[in-house]
Every structure is written in C-alpha cells, then in structure tokens.
C-alpha cells in the first residue's frame, strides 16, 4: 500500500467533515418550514448510494454465476462497496421521520381504499426494511463465502449467488415501486422495477470503475490492476449505457404513443415542462451520449483518465436521473438548488467513501 | 472465461472434418421420407392459402373484435425462434463464451429460416398478398407513403434489417468451413462449395479480414436482437388496449424470444446429433449451457408475468384488472394456465443439476417451452382483443382449419429448409471448434 497521497492520508478527516456538514443540514432542513425540500434530496441520495453499494455485491455474484474470470481483480474492488449497505439500513430508518413530507398518499393525495392495503407506512417500511436487511445480510455472507472459496477452503457459493440475484431483482422492484412510483400515487408503469435495478447496476459499474482507477493510482499494490481489466469493464459500461437507455426509451415511447392522461402526466412534467426538461436532457446526455461516444473507442476504455471522467459523468447523470424521477413528484413546481442540497449530497458521499474505506480494510485487496 | 473442456477427449482436426462432413453424404430413404412429409405439409399450407386468396379473408376465423388471430401469433412465435441464433452467435461471442462454437451454426441457420417463415405471416394476415410491396415506401405517381407512425410499418424495417444482417452473418461465418468441404469434393460439388467459399485459401490476411468482419457483424447484430423484438412488442404496446399497453413489453418480449429460441435449439439439436452422430462435438455440456440460458430467460419472463398482474392490481384501474382476471379465469383461461405451466413452472426444474445434465429430459422440457411460448402470444393477442372496454364489443375467436393449415405449412417450410441446409452445409462451425480444441490442448489462457 502506498499511502503517500494527501487525500488518502487525511481521508478520515475529509469524510468526517463532509458527514458532519451533511448531518447539520439534514437536521436544519428537517426542522425548517420546507421539510420536503430536504427529505427529497435525502431520498434521491439514499436511492443512489444504496443502489451503488448493492451493485458491488451483484457484480460479484454475476461473475460467480457466469464463471467469468476477466473480473477477478475488479470484483475485489466492487465488493468493498458493499460495506455501505448496513449504513443504508440506518439511513432508511431515519427516513421514517420524514415520511409525511415524502409520500403524498399519506395526507396530500387521496388514494382508494384498495390501494391503502399496500400503500401504508407500517407495511411499506416493514417490507423494505425486511427486504433490504435480507439483501445486506446475504451480500455480506456471499462475499465472505466467495473469498474463502478463492482460497480453496469451501465450495464455490454459486447457489448462493443465484439466490442473491433473484432476491435483488424482486426486492429492488418493490423499492422502485415504493420509493419512486408511489410518489405519484395514481401513476403506474410495469417497467419501473426493471428500469430501476438496471440503473442501479449501471451506476454501480461506473463507481466500481472510478474506485478501481483511484485505487490503482493511490492504494493498491502496483501490479494489481491491469489495463485489460479496465478495457473489459469499459465494454460492460458501454453495453449497459445502451441497455439502460433502451429501458428509458421503452417506458417513454409506450406512454408517449398511448397518450393517456393518467400516464402521460408523469412524462409530460419531466420531458416537456421547465425546469425538469433541462434536467431530463442532461441525464440523457451524461448517462447515454457521453459513454456512447467516448467508450466506443478502444482508447476511451483503456485510458484510465478518460474512462474515469466518463464514469464520473455517468454517476452525475444517474444522480440527475433519480432526481428527475423523484423530485418532480414531490415538489412539481420548484427546483431547489442551494447549499442545503449540496451539503446533504456531500454528506452522503462522505458516508459512502468512509464506509468504502472501511470495506477495503475489512475485505482487503489481495497482495 | 471458464476452462471446462466441452468436447470428447482426444478429438483431432481430421476427426472434426470427417464428422461434420458426414451429414453431407448421400442421404438414405428416411431422409427422402422426411422431405416428402415436409412437402406434404407445405402443400397443405399452400392449399389453405390458395383458398384464402380465392375465397377471401372470411375463411379465417378473424372478425370483430378479434381482428388479430393466430397469423400474428405465428409471426411473433417465429420471430422469437429467430432470436437465439443471433444471441448464441453474436452476444455469446462478445461475452467470450466458449461453449457456443458447437451450436452456433445450427442456431444461425435456424434464425435465418425462422425469420423467413415469420416474414410471411403479416403478409398472409393482411390479405391481398400480391400487393405486399405496398409495405415499402417507394416513390410513386400518387405520392402515397406508408404510415411511418404505424408500429406495423416499423416491423417491416426491423424484420427486414434483421433478416439481412443475420443472413450475412450466417454466410460470412461459413466461408472457412465451405472451403473445407470444397476441398473434400470434386466435380459439381466442388464448384458449388467453391462459390460459397469465396476463394478462401486460409492465408493469414484472409483470416485477419474474416475475424474483423465477424467481430463487426457480432457488434451490429447484438443491438438488433434487442431492437427487433422490442418493435414486435410495440405492435401491441403502442395501442391503449388493456393487457397490451404495458411499458415492460419490450424487455419482456425480448427475453421471451430468447427463451423460445433456446428451447427450439434444444428441440432441433437433440435428434440432429443422434442422426448425424455428432455426440463428440455437441456434448451434454452444451445442452446444460443452453438449459441455463433457458432458465435465466424463463425467470425474466416469469418476472414480467407477475409484474403485470401486480401492477394491474396496483393501478386500481377497472379495465386493467378485468383484463387480467379474464386472462386467467375467463373463456381462454385454460390456455393461460398452459402457458404459465410451460413457461414458468416446468423450466424451474432446470435448477436441479440432475435435470439439467439429462439431455432427454431437457429435450422434453424444450418441447413444453415451445408450446408455452406459442400459447403466450396467443393469450396476449386474443384475450386482450376479445374483451376490451365496451361489453357491447366483446366477442370470441377460434382459429379455422385454414389458419391451422397455414401454420402447419410454415412448420413444413421451416423443416424443409433446415433439412436441406443440414444436407448441404457444415452443421458445426469446423474452424471454430478446431480453434477451441487447439486452445484446450495447449491450455491457453486469454485473460
């Protein structure tokens, strides 16, 4: 380990400062007279970073099932993202306080009695805490198992990986229905679940790439990562950019063409009305066109300066994407951008990097 | 990349040549009997089509409100079958899955022939088949254009593009193997194979070009697989009919297509490797891998079924809810349950290692899946049309013998094309398998 970098040396102090700033603004925002403003950005960040952390385990599980060897070094990096998952359970518990300011169906919008069976706070948090708790537990057990399997102590946890993947798809579908779709209580779209868990995985890949590039420069043993690893991950990222966009497009086209008022409302707000229109286009450019053009080239994939910039833009695009999915449902007529939004988001980033750092200690990179 | 050995041990290059060329030997009586059967099927189909052309569309069971009958069911069914070919050839190639080499040729051939059959059905469905060129936009004196906003017209472009690319991919992929066959024969056969070998001499430069072209086709064909069936799904999803208008349709149909395609590959591969004694090249492991693909896609399809039902309930929209209740418990209920059993429950048995390593059982499962996937399209198309919004406009549909006859004819056509292909061309990609075996023997490691 070459810990000579100023950033690496002071990582605890920097992330600590970010987290403290985040906490201060979360508390201030929750107690202000516009609590929705704080809780919506909290929810966006919660979904983004939980999805990224979960994607670390899913990446490893996919490699396990497909017998893939190209990613054997990359997966060590991916797995250390998982250490954020226990933190995210705590963050989910904290969110219970903000629920009245997040879910319109609690007081603002009336929903039919039949829907109340599904959309009520105890059941919503019950199922999500259970689901995410289960996923967190299984992800950690899986990673420990596959690491022991690498040393030949136990059998490869392939069955475990299959269970993890199936649960991921199911649980994340409900996360999408509950925390994104239910914010517009009358709106529904069958693709939402698949769309969300694909987006999480795609964002996860970009963070894995950023983390691997940073690690190669500052943390890992000199010959640990190879150019070939980055080439392969770049290809996967490129493929997922297209696949993710195809799901965005599938949802858009069907609703646009059908043009039924109860469905179109959701898209019209995001694609045709200010200020959301600009944000929608920016996530399409950041998440789709940028990787499409730059990662198509081999140099774009193998040059780590270029690919990590692309990955950063994808992460930014994913943030905007989730923002556009969540926020217009809660505050349709105001775009809040201020120090509060930045501070809360930076707090989440600090928390994520800190747990990532802890993860690297707990599941070290093999020398 | 897995390091498993997929072939029987001690297989040499010469063995592979002769084993693959075995199928191109002079056929026996059984072969001619099979051909006669297929010709009879085609004949019956042609007779039915002739009846429809001369009598009118009334001989088919389609009427208001079910104006889309089994012709379009068959269309989607055949397009679906056509998907695994490109999946195995292109997508698995890009993912460096080594097991594809023994089965990719058969899957590609299946793709090309299945698209041909698929392409016929919209034309038969539309009636006045002699005006089929009206589907293409061409300059004409009355400046009439096709309706570019119609998803049915997107199909024309999607399917014809897919057909072009998969045919080219198929022909280009066969060049080195055609050269092997060319060199084994003299006279007319030598000349015919020579045309398809396109002057192949196996020089370094030729291999280089070949591999570049193959890579390019693979990269182009991959998005096509997804786009074609997405567009087929949008034939339905673009309307506002409950049960059709659903955002998940594109990924749902794409995985369904790959699901049915893999099933059809197993169905065809099983008798084929017996008849032509290809057990050394197409081993149990290949079947297991195909079964795993089937399981994965079956899970995605099941996910889509369940999501649709959940959202229909969640939507609290009467029409959505009634449409799905009718699907499960209405007049066509039994078909729905057959579909669910074949596509959702039976493939789950592949989770057991005993079953996925038993070729005979996989063959039986694959037949169930073929039936189930045909049913799926039937259920989606017919039930939604039979009961839409207004009870005044409800009605039922049952296919007539004419429609069944044309369906049987399409099977005859598909099998005839496939059998002729097997007799004429190398059924296994010789050069790729050789490369693979060489790779295994020398324990090469690409990663």
- Regarding predicted confidence, which is higher, B202 or B244? B244
Q: Determine which of A62-66, A292-296, B412-416, B421-425 has the lowest per-residue pLDDT on average.
A: B421-425
Q: Which chain B residue's Cα is nearest to A184?
A: B315
For residue B65, whether the previous peptide bond is cis, meaning omega lies within 30 degrees of 0, is yes
Q: Determine which of A209-223, B226-240, B284-298 has the lowest per-residue pLDDT on average.
A: A209-223
Contact B247 A118 (CB under 8 A): no
Q: Determine which of A3-12, A202-211, B229-238, B346-355 has the lowest per-residue pLDDT on average.
A: A3-12
Q: Does A90 touch chain B (CB under 8 A)?
A: no
Burial A154-179 (b: 16+ CB within 10 A, else e): eeebeebbbebbeebbbbbbbbbbbb
pLDDT at B446: 46
Q: Taking residues B171-180, report their average pLDDT.
A: 85
pLDDT at A24 over 80: yes
pLDDT band of residue B205 (cuts 50, 70, 90) is confident
Closest to A286 in 3D by CA, of A172, A215, A206, A361:
A206
Among the partner-chain residues A115, A242, A257, the one whose CB lies closest to the CB of B316 is A115
pLDDT at A68: 82
Q: What is the ipTM of this complex?
A: 0.93
Among the partner-chain residues B226, B230, B314, the one whose CB lies closest to the CB of A188 is B314
Q: Which chain A residue's Cα is nearest to B3?
A: A67
Which residues from A are below 8 Å from B303, CB to CB?
A: 169-170, 173, 194
pLDDT at B216 over 90: no
Disruptive mutation site among B215, B248, B344 for chain A (greatest number of A CBs within 10 Å)? B248
Residue B297's alpha-carbon distances to A55, B261, B338, in angstroms, are 21, 10, 18
Which residues from A are below 8 Å from B307, CB to CB?
A: 173, 190, 193-194
Contact A254 B447 (CB under 8 A): no
**Could you tell me if B63 and B397 are in contact, meaning their C-beta atoms sit under 8 angstroms apart?**
yes
pLDDT at A7 over 80: no
pLDDT at B28: 76
- Indicate the average pLDDT of chain B: 86
pLDDT at A225: 83
Residue B227 three-state SS: helix
Contact A255 B299 (CB under 8 A): no
Among the partner-chain residues B237, B251, B314, the one whose CB lies closest to the CB of A194 is B251
pLDDT at B103 over 90: no
pLDDT band of residue A226 (cuts 50, 70, 90) is confident
Q: Does A257 touch chain B (CB under 8 A)?
A: yes
**Could you tell me if A317 and A281 are in contact, meaning their C-beta atoms sit under 8 angstroms apart?**
no
How far is A317 from A290, CA to CA, in rounded Å?
Answer: 10
| % of chain B exceeding 90 in pLDDT | 38
Q: Does A254 touch chain B (CB under 8 A)?
A: yes
Q: Does B234 touch chain A (CB under 8 A)?
A: yes
pLDDT at B445: 47
Q: Which chain A residue's Cα is nearest to B242?
A: A258
Q: Does B381 touch chain A (CB under 8 A)?
A: no
Q: Taking residues B120-141, report their average pLDDT.
A: 87
- What contacts B31, CB < 8 A, 6 or more positions away? B419, B423
Among the partner-chain residues B1, B246, B248, the one whose CB lies closest to the CB of A70 is B1
pLDDT at A177: 94
**Could you tell me if B421 and B109 are in contact, meaning their C-beta atoms sit under 8 angstroms apart?**
yes
Q: Two tokens at A115?
A: 């829907």
How far is A103 from A184, CA to CA, in rounded Å?
Answer: 9
pLDDT at B1: 43
- Would you list the domain boundaries of chain A? 6-362
**Could you tell me if A78 and A56 are in contact, meaning their C-beta atoms sit under 8 angstroms apart?**
yes
**Could you tell me if B78 and B117 are in contact, meaning their C-beta atoms sit under 8 angstroms apart?**
yes
Among the partner-chain residues A247, A251, A257, the one whose CB lies closest to the CB of B238 is A257
**pLDDT tens-digit profile of A128-186?**
999 999 999 999 999 999 888 888 778 888 889 999 999 999 999 999 999 999 999 99
Contact A258 B251 (CB under 8 A): no
Q: What is the crossing angle of helices B430-441 and B151-184, to 10°?
A: 70
Closest to A236 in 3D by CA, of A83, A52, A74, A85:
A74
How many pairs of residues across A and B have Cβ atoms under 8 Å apart? 80
pLDDT at B79 over 60: yes
**Could you tell me if A225 and A216 are in contact, meaning their C-beta atoms sit under 8 angstroms apart?**
yes
Residues 291-310 of B with CB under 8 A from A: 299, 303-304, 307-308
- Regarding predicted confidence, which is higher, B7 or A78? A78
Q: Does B367 touch chain A (CB under 8 A)?
A: no
**pLDDT tens-digit profile of B374-411?**
999 999 999 999 988 888 889 889 899 999 999 999 99
Q: Does A164 touch chain B (CB under 8 A)?
A: no
Contact B308 A190 (CB under 8 A): yes
Q: Work out the minimum CA distance from B263 to partner chain A, whole angstroms.
A: 20
Q: Work out the minimum CA distance from A351 to partner chain B, whole angstroms.
A: 34
**Could you tell me if B355 and B329 are in contact, meaning their C-beta atoms sit under 8 angstroms apart?**
no
**Could you tell me if B166 and B83 are in contact, meaning their C-beta atoms sit under 8 angstroms apart?**
no
If phi over 0 gives left and psi between -120 and 50 gives alpha, with beta otherwise, what is residue A260? beta
Contact A189 B239 (CB under 8 A): no
Place of tokens 């990613």: A71
pLDDT at B441 over 70: no
Contacts of B183-187 with C-beta under 8 Å, sequence gap 24+, read: B184/B17, B184/B21
Q: Taking residues B10-33, report their average pLDDT.
A: 73
- Regarding predicted confidence, which is higher, B150 or B445? B150
How far is B321 from B242, CA to CA, in rounded Å?
Answer: 9
Q: Which domains does chain B have, with CATH numbers?
A: 13-138+151-441 (1.20.1630.10)
Distance linking the first and last C-alpha atoms of chain A: 9
Contact B237 A254 (CB under 8 A): yes
How far is A318 from A209, CA to CA, in rounded Å?
Answer: 15
Q: Does B390 touch chain A (CB under 8 A)?
A: no
Q: Does A113 touch chain B (CB under 8 A)?
A: no
Among the partner-chain residues A67, A254, A262, the one whose CB lies closest to the CB of B2 is A67
Q: Two tokens at A65?
A: 């099932």
Q: Work out the minimum CA distance from A137 to partner chain B, whole angstroms.
A: 23
**pLDDT tens-digit profile of A230-270?**
899 999 999 999 999 999 999 999 999 998 988 898 999 99
pTM, entire model: 0.92
Q: Work out the minimum CA distance from A271 to partner chain B, whole angstroms.
A: 17
Which residues from B are below 8 Å from A163, CB to CB?
A: none
**Angle made by CA atoms B50, B52, B55, in degrees to the nearest 5:** 100
Place of tokens 């967190």: A136
pLDDT at B435 over 50: yes
Q: Two tokens at B211?
A: 């591999």
Q: Determine which of A148-152, A188-192, B322-326 has the lowest per-residue pLDDT on average.
A: A148-152
**Could you tell me if A132 and A89 are in contact, meaning their C-beta atoms sit under 8 angstroms apart?**
yes
pLDDT at B425 over 50: yes
Q: Which chain B residue's Cα is nearest to A119?
A: B314
Q: Does A189 touch chain B (CB under 8 A)?
A: yes
Closest to A44 in 3D by CA, of A353, A362, A341:
A341
Residue B304's alpha-carbon distances to A194, A225, B81, B274, B366, in angstroms, are 9, 39, 19, 36, 20
**Could you tell me if A11 and A358 are in contact, meaning their C-beta atoms sit under 8 angstroms apart?**
no
Residue A157 three-state SS: coil
Q: Which chain B residue's Cα is nearest to A244?
A: B251
**Helix-strand-coil percent breakdown of chain A, rounded to 5?**
80, 0, 20
Among the partner-chain residues A66, A70, A114, the one whose CB lies closest to the CB of B316 is A114
pLDDT at B131: 87
Contact A246 B230 (CB under 8 A): yes
pLDDT at B440: 65
Q: Taking residues B215-237, report their average pLDDT.
A: 89
Q: Taking residues B190-196, report their average pLDDT.
A: 84
DSSP B96: T
Which residues from B are below 8 Å from A191, CB to CB?
A: 247-248, 250-251
| % of chain B exceeding 70 in pLDDT | 93
Cβ atoms within 10 Å of B302's Cβ, excluding its own: 18
Which ranges in B146-248 belong to alpha helices (H)? 151-184, 187-197, 204-237
Q: Determine which of B180-194, B234-248, B357-371 has the lowest per-residue pLDDT on average.
A: B180-194
Q: Does B311 touch chain A (CB under 8 A)?
A: yes
Which residues from A are below 8 Å from B6, CB to CB?
A: none
pLDDT at B447: 40
Residue B415's alpha-carbon distances to B22, B34, B43, B114, B408, in angstroms, are 20, 9, 13, 10, 11
**pLDDT tens-digit profile of A297-326?**
888 888 889 999 999 999 999 999 999 999
Q: Taking residues B291-315, report their average pLDDT.
A: 93
Burial class (CB in 10 A: 0-12, 13-18, 19+), B277: exposed
- Gyration radius of chain A's alpha carbons: 20
> H or E segment at B263?
helix B249-275
pLDDT at A2 over 60: no
Contact A253 B234 (CB under 8 A): yes
Residue A182's alpha-carbon distances to A111, A121, A334, B196, in angstroms, are 11, 12, 20, 59
pLDDT at B15 over 80: no
Which residues from B are below 8 Å from A192, CB to CB?
A: 247
Contact A189 B311 (CB under 8 A): yes
């Amino acid at each position: 380990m070459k810990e000579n970098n100023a950033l690496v040396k002071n990582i605890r102090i920097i992330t600590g400062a970010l987290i403290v700033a985040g906490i201060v603004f979360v508390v201030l925002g929750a107690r202000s007279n516009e609590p929705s403003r704080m809780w919506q950005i909290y929810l966006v960040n919660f979904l983004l970073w939980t999805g990224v952390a979960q994607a670390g385990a899913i990446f490893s599980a996919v490699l396990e099932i497909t017998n893939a060897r190209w990613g054997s070094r990359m997966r060590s990096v991916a797995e250390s993202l998982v250490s954020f998952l226990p933190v995210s359970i705590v963050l989910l518990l904290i969110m219970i306080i903000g629920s009245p300011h997040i879910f319109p169906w609690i007081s603002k919008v009336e929903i039919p009695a039949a829907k109340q069976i599904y959309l009520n706070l105890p059941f919503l948090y019950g199922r999500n805490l259970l689901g995410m708790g289960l996923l967190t537990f299984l992800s950690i057990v899986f990673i420990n198992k596959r690491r022991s399997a690498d040393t030949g102590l136990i059998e490869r946890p392939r069955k475990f990986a299959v269970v993890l993947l199936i649960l991921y798809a199911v649980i994340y579908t409900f996360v999408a229905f509950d925390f994104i779709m239910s914010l517009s209580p009358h709106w529904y779209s069958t693709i939402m679940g698949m769309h969300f868990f694909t987006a999480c995985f795609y964002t996860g890949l970009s963070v894995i790439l950023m983390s691997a590039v940073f690690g190669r420069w500052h943390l890992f043993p000199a010959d640990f990562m190879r150019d070939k690893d980055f080439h392969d991950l770049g290809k996967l990222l490129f493929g997922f950019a297209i696949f993710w966009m195809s799901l965005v497009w599938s949802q858009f086209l069907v609703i646009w063409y059908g043009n039924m008022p109860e469905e179109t409302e959701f898209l019209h707000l995001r694609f045709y009305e200010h200020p959301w229109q600009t944000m929608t286009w920016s996530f399409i450019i950041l998440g789709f066109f940028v990787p499409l053009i730059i990662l198509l080239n081999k140099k774009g994939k193998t040059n780590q300066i270029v690919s990590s910039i692309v990955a950063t833009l994808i992460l930014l695009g994913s943030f905007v994407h989730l923002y556009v999915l969540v926020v217009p449902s809660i505050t349709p007529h105001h775009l809040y951008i201020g120090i509060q939004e930045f501070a809360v988001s930076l707090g989440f980033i600090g928390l994520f990097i800190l747990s990532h750092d802890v993860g690297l200690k707990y599941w070290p990179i093999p020398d | 990349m897995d390091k498993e050995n997929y072939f029987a041990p001690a297989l040499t290059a010469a063995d592979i040549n002769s084993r693959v060329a075995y199928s191109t030997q002079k056929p026996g009586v059984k072969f001619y009997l099979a051909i006669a059967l297929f010709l009879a099927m085609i004949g019956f189909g042609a007779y039915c089509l002739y009846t429809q052309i001369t009598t009118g569309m009334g001989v088919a069971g389609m009427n208001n409100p079910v104006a889309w009958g089994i012709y379009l069911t068959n269309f989607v069914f055949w397009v679906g079958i056509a998907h695994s070919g490109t999946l195995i050839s292109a997508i698995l190639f890009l993912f460096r899955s080594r097991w594809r080499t023994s089965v990719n040729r058969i899957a590609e051939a299946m793709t090309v022939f299945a698209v041909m059959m698929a392409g016929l059905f919209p034309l038969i469905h539309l009636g006045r088949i002699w005006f089929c060129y009206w589907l293409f936009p061409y300059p004409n004196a009355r400046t009439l254009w096709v309706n570019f906003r119609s998803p049915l017209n997107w199909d024309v472009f999607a399917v014809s593009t897919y057909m072009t690319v998969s045919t080219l991919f198929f022909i280009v992929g066969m060049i080195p193997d055609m050269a092997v066959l060319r060199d084994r024969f003299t006279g007319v056969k030598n000349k015919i194979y020579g045309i398809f070998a396109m002057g192949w001499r196996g020089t370094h430069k030729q291999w280089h070009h070949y591999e570049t072209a193959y890579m390019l086709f693979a990269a182009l064909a991959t998005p096509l697989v997804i786009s074609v069936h997405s567009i087929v799904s949008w034939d339905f999803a673009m309307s506002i009919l409950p049960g059709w208008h659903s955002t998940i349709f594109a990924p749902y149909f794409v995985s369904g297509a790959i699901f049915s395609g893999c099933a059809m590959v197993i169905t065809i591969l099983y008798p084929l490797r017996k008849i032509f004694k290809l057990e050394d090249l197409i081993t149990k492991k290949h079947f297991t891998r195909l079964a795993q693909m089937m399981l994965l896609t079956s899970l995605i399809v099941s996910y889509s079924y369940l999501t649709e039902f959940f959202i229909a309930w969640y939507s609290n929209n009467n029409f959505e809810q009634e449409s799905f209740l009718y699907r499960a418990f209405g007049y066509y209920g039994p078909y729905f349950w057959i579909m669910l059993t074949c596509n959702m429950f039976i493939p789950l048995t592949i989770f057991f290692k005993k079953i996925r390593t038993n070729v005979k059982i996989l063959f039986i499962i694959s037949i169930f899946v073929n039936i189930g996937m045909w049913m799926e399209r039937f259920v989606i198309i017919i039930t939604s049309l039979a009961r839409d919004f207004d009870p005044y406009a409800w009605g039922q549909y049952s296919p007539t013998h004419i429609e069944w006859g044309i369906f049987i004819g399409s099977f005859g056509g598909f099998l005839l094309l496939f059998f002729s292909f097997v007799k004429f061309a190398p059924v296994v990609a010789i050069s790729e398998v050789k490369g693979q075996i060489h790779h295994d023997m020398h324990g090469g490691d690409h990663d």
